Amino acid sequence: MEFLTDIVLLTDSTLRIAAPLILAALAGLCAERAGIVDIGLEGKMLGAAFAAASAAAITASAWAGLAAGILFSVALALLHGYVSINQRGNQIVSGMAINIMVAGLAPLLAIAWFSRGGQTPFLDSSMRFTEITLPFADVLQDVPFLGAIYSDLISGHNLLTYVAFAAVPVVAWVLYKTRFGLRLRAVGENPEAVDTAGISVTLLRYQAMIIAGILCGISGSALSTALGAGFIRDMSAGKGFLALAAMIFGKWKPVPTLLACLLFAFVDALQGRLQGVSLPLIGEIPVQFTIMLPYVLTVIILAGFVGKMEAPKASGIPYEKDR
Amino acid sequence: MSASAKKLPGAVEAIAMPFLNTLIAFLLSGLLIWALGEDPFYALSLLFDGAFGYQEGIGYTFYYATNFIFTGLAVSVAYHAGHFNIGGEGQAMLGGLGLTLAVFWLGDTAPVLSVIIAILGAALFGGAWAFIPAWLQATRGSHIVITTIMFNFIASALLAYLLVGPLQRPGGQMPESSDFPEGAGLMKFDELMSVLGFSFEQSPLNVSFLIALLMALAVWFLLTRTRFGYEMRVAGKNQNAAAFAGVSVPRVTIIALMMSGALAGMMGLNELLGEQLRLIGNFTLGYGFVGIAVAFMGRNHPLGIVLAAILFGVLYQGGAEIAFEITTISSDMIVVVQGLVIIFAGAMPHLMRKPVTAAYARLIGKGAA
């Protein structure tokens, strides 16, 4: 019985941890399918987390926080877009610059505005996205198995977690079933063809960056106003890079990317559960080693021992009209 | 406008353009200080006072600059080979571990020898920590940016484990090792000066600065005077052309990235062997990332890197003064400046091309008329 509770708890926290990863990975996916490499997911997440927590603390509204998070993240995405599209600059360098800039800017502003050593004020539950109990969750609790799954696993998450899981089919639908999605994918594979057809490569890529900005904005807001209760220095802790690795592992496709995110989240949830637990044969694993798990997994996945990975052909290459 | 007027002379290209880009980054930083309700000119005067106003301050400025020369050269060597090594943090941590092990191994019996072995140990461990990402990049095409970032996190956890476990000072509570044995350290600048008959206030500045300058010279020699340096630069510009010309691109990639890791690893010489005289957790304090800004600002040229490193030394030492005097501005400001420098000098090198070209053409036009 204890084993079963463990499974339920583990799955529950996997879903919770997966949400920001999924949103960020989808952001990276939209950008790269349009031909822009976005190493700056981490910075956009962190920036959105800070903006959301600050706005929520000042206005006492989680929704205002979310709006601020999205706005800031979109602004950073547009900056990256300007460097990548108009300036034809190095996209990796630009993404890393955004990561570093935000890592400094967020605590700098936090100290200047709130004087709390780089944190934002604590958000109580009225200023956060809290757990939602889905309809009939109480009634169905007693139905064997399915009831437990519905009531304990599916119900009782915060709104942004549901948004994250809903975003997967939406992004997949837009990418594969709409004309806009077709053009977006085309601009990442063969921008010359798109240009020849009389469609603006620049506009499409900016649109992709705005979508990426919105998704990253929700992701970062989830960190500070749903999973956490305020902004803490460096709270993204490499999640933007994990999301990027998940997207690569998911072969730049929405559903496999979702599965990859769930794998990362599961490992993260597992390492949380393993802390201080004595395992048979091995004994207790030092906490520093369990913390390493998601990072080691990322390296193993990127080593390509799990299949070949092909990026969109034009991804990372600036488009020059008269080339 | 004639075709020749469109092309900028080398000096304008190499000095004026990066200078303008860096200037924009600094102007924006000043605007940010102003937006926070402080006086940017007062901040600037504090900056210079802190960095150059007294001998100890100057010592600190060059002490920080030493770190940045090492990490800047590290980023630059990898960049010349066409790779973006952002694992300087992790490689420096492992370098620190390598030198610490060497010092504890030999320090009691032969302090001088232990220092020499420690220098080699720092480079060796830093290079080794870069090996796996380098090998994965060269043979499997794994994204070097993500793998090196992951290795930073792994290194940080590894060091944390060692410093609360096997390497922790017996009976200590902090995540740090025992003190290095007597004599196992690098000479301080003030000691060196007094040997030479001058006096200089005490500061953490030590002979690592000279080692860093030597490394800059070595990197310059490697890049411009050796066959391998040439192969590296060709591979960095165009992998296909390099492969066609008979260069083994995987081999060049792995060696270049390991040299990059070794340079980052040597940062520990300054911090640990020069000043702290013990291994501390997270002693790298983001200096590995500063190397990125330094490399771009210095246009990936060793001399440029030394100058950019000194400028960042000024920012760190003077910035500490600002953070001390103006409480609304924390030392995180320096990280913002780094980001701005990287985006303007690194990602948008051509931002000012049009206005500079126009201004230059007008200047030439006047000269001819």
Q: Is A286 on the interface with B (CB under 8 A)?
A: yes
In a domain, A263, yes or no: yes
For residue A157, the surrounding DSSP H or E stretch is: strand A157-158
pLDDT at B2: 41
Q: pLDDT digit string (tens) for B157-169?
A: 999 999 998 999 9
Structural domains in chain B (count)? 1
- Beta carbon pairs, A and B, within 8 Å: 148
Asked if residue A308 lies in contact with residue A300, where contact means CB atoms within 8 angstroms, the answer is: no
Query: Helix, strand, or coil here: A33?
Result: helix
Taking only residues 103 to 122 of chain A, the set having a beta carbon closer than 8 angstroms to any beta carbon of chain B reads 103-105, 107-109, 111-112, 115, 118
pLDDT at B5: 45
Written as six digits, the tokens of A144 are 């064997």
Range of the domain at A115: 2-302
In whole angstroms, give the CA distance from residue A223 to residue A214: 15
In chain A, which residues have their Cβ closer than 8 Å to the Cβ of B143? Answer: 244-245, 248, 302
Q: Is B238 on the interface with A (CB under 8 A)?
A: no
Could you tell me the sign of the dihedral formed by the alpha carbons of A110, A112, A117, A120, in that order? Answer: negative
In a domain, B327, yes or no: no
Q: pLDDT digit string (tens) for B218-262?
A: 999 999 999 999 999 999 999 999 999 999 999 999 999 999 999
How many Cβ atoms sit within 10 Å of the Cβ of residue A257?
A: 26
In chain A, which residues have their Cβ closer than 8 Å to the Cβ of B330? Answer: 107-108, 111-112, 118
- Report the DSSP beta bridge partners of residue B188: B206
Range of the domain at B273: 61-312
In chain B, which residues have their Cβ closer than 8 Å to the Cβ of A83? Answer: 343, 347-348
Residues 6 or more apart whose CB falls under 8 angstroms from that of A125 comprise: none
In a domain, B318, yes or no: no
Q: What is the pLDDT along chain A (323 residues), one digit of tens a residue?
A: 567 777 888 888 899 999 999 999 999 999 999 999 999 999 999 999 999 999 999 998 999 999 999 999 999 999 999 999 998 888 888 998 999 999 999 999 999 999 888 888 888 888 888 888 887 777 777 777 777 777 777 888 889 999 999 999 999 999 999 999 999 999 999 998 999 999 999 999 999 999 999 999 999 999 999 998 899 998 998 899 999 989 988 889 999 999 999 999 999 998 888 877 777 777 778 888 888 988 998 899 888 765 566 788 888 888 887 64
pLDDT at B357: 85
In a domain, B95, yes or no: yes
Tell me the shortest Cα–Cα distance from A168 to chain B, in angstroms.
24
Compare CB distances from A241 to B149, B329, B337 and report the shortest one's residue: B149
Structural domains in chain A (count)? 1
For residue A132, the surrounding DSSP H or E stretch is: strand A131-132
Position B319: which residue type?
Answer: G
Written as six digits, the tokens of B365 are 């036009």
Q: What is the CATH number of the domain that holds A108?
A: 1.10.3470
Residues 6 or more apart whose CB falls under 8 angstroms from that of A52 comprise: A65, A66, A68, A69, A217, A220, A221, A224, A225, A231
- Report the DSSP beta bridge partners of residue A283: A279
Written as six digits, the tokens of B37 are 């309700």
The DSSP result for B342-360, as a single string, is IIIIII-TTTTHHHHHHHH
pLDDT at B1: 40
Taking only residues 83 to 142 of chain B, the set having a beta carbon closer than 8 angstroms to any beta carbon of chain A reads 84, 86, 132-133, 136, 140-142
Compare CB distances from B146 to A90, A97, A298 and report the shortest one's residue: A298
Written as six digits, the tokens of A301 are 């996945």
Taking only residues 250 to 289 of chain B, the set having a beta carbon closer than 8 angstroms to any beta carbon of chain A reads 289
In a domain, B37, yes or no: no
Residue of B nearest to A76 (CA): B343
Q: Where are the beta strands (DSSP E) in chain B?
A: none
Q: Indicate left, alpha or beta for A228 from its phi (over 0: left) and psi (-120 to 50: alpha).
A: beta
Asked if residue B281 lies in contact with residue B61, where contact means CB atoms within 8 angstroms, the answer is: no
CA neighbor of A83 nearest in space, from A70, A72, A69, A96: A96
Asked if residue B75 lies in contact with residue B291, where contact means CB atoms within 8 angstroms, the answer is: yes
pLDDT-wise least confident of B246-260, B264-278, B350-364: B350-364
CA neighbor of B181 nearest in space, from B282, B122, B113, B120: B113
Q: What percent of chain B has pLDDT over 90?
A: 70
In a domain, B169, yes or no: yes
- Crossing angle between the packed helical segments B332-341 and B17-35, to the nearest 10 degrees: 140
Residue that has been written with the tokens 């902004």 in this structure: A231
Query: Helix, strand, or coil here: A255?
Result: helix
Q: What are phi and psi of A6, to 5 degrees?
A: -60, -45
Residue of A nearest to B141 (CA): A303
In a domain, A60, yes or no: yes
- Report the DSSP beta bridge partners of residue B176: B280
Q: pLDDT digit string (tens) for B227-237?
A: 999 999 999 99
ipTM over 0.85: yes
Written as six digits, the tokens of A199 are 């469609």
In a domain, A313, yes or no: no
In a domain, B335, yes or no: no
